[in-house]
Amino acid sequence: MKKVITYGTFDLLHWGHINILRRAKEMGDYLVVAISTDEFNRLKHKEAYHNYENRKMILEAIRYVDEVIPENEWEQKIQDVQNHGIDLFVMGDDWEGEFDFLKDYCEVVYLRRTEGISTSQIKNELSEN
């Protein structure tokens, strides 16, 4: 069985999120999604609209997602890959090169982002109205 992992906040779920989850799942048999906890978001000076528990519940309802785990810190990725038996790490291409250090532990793939949508764009448009 090929296990895949991806990371993100996954706030204000949109078709770009679904695309990356679908594409990640197509690359393996089992998809683990690590989502930023509320505490970790605060450390990154980010604020999600939905709290961690609600974002987790939403992701668990998506058919492409097999398991949701918390992301508590930047440094946990190697441990997650090892602890979960991950074969493939997947992220959006706006992170290209940032996680190449994981190539010692698993395959790393950067997927092209869905054009025309982002959580930042949604938040900006909502704040303008």
Q: So which residues are the catalytic ones?
A: 44, 46
Q: How far apart are CA 41 and CA 7, in angstroms?
A: 13
The alpha helices in 44-85, defined as continuous H runs, are 52-60, 77-83
Q: How far apart are CA 64 and CA 62, in angstroms?
A: 6
Strand partners, 90: 6, 109
Nearest to 111 by CA among 24, 13, 12, 10: 24
Question: How many beta carbons lie within 10 A of that of residue 114, not counting itself?
Answer: 16
CA 58 to each of CA 9, 33, 123: distance values in angstroms, whole numbers, following the listed order: 12, 12, 19
